[in-house]
Amino acid sequence: MRKPNLILIGAGGHARACIDVIEQHDQYRIAGLVGLAEEVHVQHLGYSVIATDYDLPELAKEYPYAFIAVGQIWSPDSRMRLYQQATELGFQLPAIIAPTAHVSRHATIGAGSIVMHGAIVNAGARVGINCIINTRALLEHDAIAEDHCHISTGAILNGGVCIGAGGFVGSGSIIKEGVTLGKGCVVGMGLSVRHNQADHTRFVGNDKT
């Protein structure tokens, strides 16, 4: 059966990583990428940048599915804005799960979220909408990544951890079991978080904590 068309909104490094997962997932045909005006016609892994953000209303008439494929570190704002715009235009935003990932049947993954190669989302865990669960990240039992979070490569959310909406956890960082981070927190790479953090905390090493 012919696969439904999906457009990727974003044309950078994270978009290329998403392409690889979507190809392996094998449920959608990538019809093209949406990027900046100067990127139109550029090819990424064999797919063209076919349009810019301004063309999304037209694209929505032609393509049923979209996926937000821009990255996120300091701020979730671009991803949130694009997600809202895409849903308002009537695109459907599927959850994409790499076949090399393990998502427990007792876990939930929200619309527009991606679980990338080798990630594990264990029993009772919950991933909100428009999240990135990056390569080899681990959400242990009952861990929560609220909407619009990015859990980076190799990061570990131990049992019962909750990352508030719009949060970022850097590569290889470990959050102690049961710890809650408020909304919009940023945890740099390679750090350990042992205590709850208030909304919008920047946890970025000794100099900036």
Ligand X SMILES: CC(C)(COP(=O)(O)OP(=O)(O)OC[C@H]1O[C@@H](n2cnc3c(N)ncnc32)[C@H](O)[C@@H]1OP(=O)(O)O)[C@@H](O)C(=O)NCCC(=O)NCCS
Residues at the interface with ligand X (CB under 6 A):
73, 134, 152-153, 170-171, 188-191, 204-205, 207-208
CB of 163 within 8 A of CB of 151?
A: yes
Shortest Cβ 135–ligand X spacing (Å): 8
Cβ closer to ligand X: 27 or 75?
75
According to DSSP, the β-strands at 43-44 and 47-51 are antiparallel
Considering the complex, what minimum distance in angstroms separates the CB of residue 117 from ligand X? 12
Q: Minimum distance between the CB of residue 205 and ligand X, rounded to whole angstroms? A: 2
Q: Nearest 5°: CA angle at 71, between 70 and 72?
A: 130
Nearest CB to ligand X, comparing residues 122 and 134: 134
- How far from chain centre, in Å, is Cα 49? 20
Rounded Cα distance between 98 and 116, Å, is 5
CB nearer to ligand X: give 86 or 116. 116
Find where tokens 């709850």 sit. 196
CB nearest ligand X: which residue? 205
Residue 80 C-beta: closest distance to ligand X, Å: 18
CA–CA distance, 132 with 4 (Å, rounded to integer): 22
Give the DSSP H or E segment for 83: helix 77-88
Tell me how far apart the alpha carbons of residues 139 and 155 are, in angstroms, rounded to a whole number.
9
Q: Closest approach of Cβ 73 to ligand X, in Å?
A: 5
Residue 174, H or E segment: strand 174-175
- Min CB(173)–ligand X separation in Å: 7
Q: Which of 77, 99, 85 is nearest to 7 (CA)?
A: 85
